[in-house]
Amino acid sequence: MAAHNALGIAGEKAAAAYLEQKGYTIHDRNWRRGHLELDIIASKGDDLVFVEVKTRRNTEFQEPEEAVDEKKIRRIVRAADTYIKLFGLDGEVRFDIITAVGEEGNFKLTHIEEAFYPPIMSF
């Protein structure tokens, strides 16, 4: 496995553990359907939370959350819509980003709640 893939997996694992520690229930990790992908699907109270995890060794060139651009947001929203319809879910939906900067076992995690809102999309 490539080193960057292992780092990403470690970051997602740390993010899931963080969410559980904060009282979230994790429903799925690395959910895929066709070309659609969601990193973490969690809930807290009545909120269904779709979490994009961005992991970096450092922030020398870019803050991790800056990688979640308009194109990425549209893909996440399309995947979330598919997930909601597939499982017949209802309720409030939120899109968060968790950044993990550092090395496995020593990440600095930042949780950005309501990091973005779904754009108006034409499917």
CATH number of the domain within which 99 lies: 3.40.1350.10
Residue 119 lies in a domain: no
Quick one: pLDDT at residue 3? 66
Residue 61 lies in a domain: yes
Residue 106 has pLDDT above 90, yes or no: yes
Q: Write down the pTM of the prediction.
A: 0.92
Residue 107 lies in a domain: yes
Boundaries of domain holding 13 = 3-112
On whether the CB atoms of residues 29 and 39 are closer than 8 A, the answer is: yes
Residue 18 lies in a domain: yes
With 0-12 CB in 10 A as exposed, 13-18 as middle and 19+ as buried, what is 104? middle
The per-residue pLDDT for range 16-52, each reduced to its tens digit, is 999 999 999 999 999 999 999 999 999 999 999 999 9
Residue 101 lies in a domain: yes
The per-residue pLDDT for range 41-95, each reduced to its tens digit, is 999 999 999 999 999 999 888 898 999 999 999 999 999 999 999 999 988 999 9
**Distance of alpha carbon 28 from alpha carbon 32, whole angstroms:** 10
Residue 123 lies in a domain: no
The total domain count for the chain is 1
Residue 121 lies in a domain: no
Across 82-109, average pLDDT = 95
Residue 32 lies in a domain: yes
Quick one: pLDDT at residue 123? 52
